[in-house]
Amino acid sequence: MNMETVPELQHRTVLLDEAVDALAIQDARASGIYVDGTFGRGGHSRKILERLGAEGRLIAFDKDPQAIQQAESITDPRFEVVHGSFASLEEVLAGRGIAQVDGVLLDLGISSPQVDDAARGFSFRADGPLDMRMDTTRGMSAAEWLATETEQNIEKVIRDYGEERFAFQIAKAIVAGRAVRPISSTRQLAEIVAHAVKTREKGKDPATRTFQAIRIYINQELAELEVGLNGAFRRLAPAGRMVVISFHSLEDRIVKRFMASKANVPQPDRRLPIRAKDLPQPEMKLLSKLKPSAAEVAANPRARSAVMRVAERCTGAAQ
């Protein structure tokens, strides 16, 4: 079931068929165990359930309480949802006695409902409380963080996570602005950034990079990605697939390097008398890199920056 058939959610799952196809859920693997690390609004999960056999099993994760509410409407006995980050994947699987899974899918970033709901504070396009937490039941909001953090750390976050060349000016303006009144709304922050950024990128709001940076920091997205990739790899069965969709260069760089580190092995000196069977073997095989088609981007402009990478656990790799 494609999420486009649920109009009230207003969410289009990016690379829906391509991602689920990449998991190769067929034949004996249709009875396997799969993980959807980012349920969102359930597009990938529902498509996976369509492919699973009667004995198959799908465990989905999401930090967003609204996503969990959507997931709980799925009554399929093969499906289970966990309110938490995919960074806890390994621990959750161990707690259920699951040693290996046949595939892991991670669709990173934020969903359209999160962006479009002004109350969540992710977007500068509509005024709302400056929250930005994916899990609204815990943690510090963006407004709380900006109220107390040092100018130096604000600058570092905006520079490192937003790749913003005006990070110094923006951080200085934020600290000056909060001295006048608390920065509690998305519009306030966007206006502060707009006044601090003198040169605008064509077709991009000056607040784009700053909002991305603060969101990533508040939700610890890159740190959780590192933990999640390693945990998923350790639980992946031989010939199991890892499919990751990222939406900005920082995420994709982490995914690319992780997969490459598992696919590449140091080559010994050819002059040494080492038997072929004793040579170090790669732990993963890189299968593909895919971007949305022009037709998908035209139908869903938010898909334009998506990159999907697929790798497979090598059958001879040590577990």
Residue 66: its H or E element = helix 65-71
Q: How far apart are CA 3 and CA 18, in angstroms?
A: 15
d(CA 72, CA 95): 20
Cα separation, 13 vs 112, whole angstroms = 9
Q: Are 250 and 281 a contacting pair, CB within 8 Å?
A: no
- Give 283's DSSP letter: S
Helix (H, G, I), strand (E, B) or coil at 262: helix
Q: Which residues are annotated as a binding site for S-adenosyl-L-methionine?
A: 42-44, 62, 86, 107, 114
Residue identified by tokens 């909002």 is: 211
Number of neighbouring beta carbons within 10 Å of residue 92: 19
Which positions make up the binding site? 42-44, 62, 86, 107, 114
Query: Residue 84 burial by CB count (10 A; 0-12/13-18/19+): exposed, middle or buried?
Result: middle
Q: Look at residue 111 and give its three-state secondary structure.
A: coil
Write the Ramachandran bin of 292: left for phi over 0, alpha for psi from -120 to 50, otherwise beta: beta
Q: Which of 217, 133, 147 is nearest to 184 (CA)?
A: 147
Strand order in the sheet with 236-246: 79-83, 57-62, 33-36, 101-107, 236-246, 307-313, 284-290
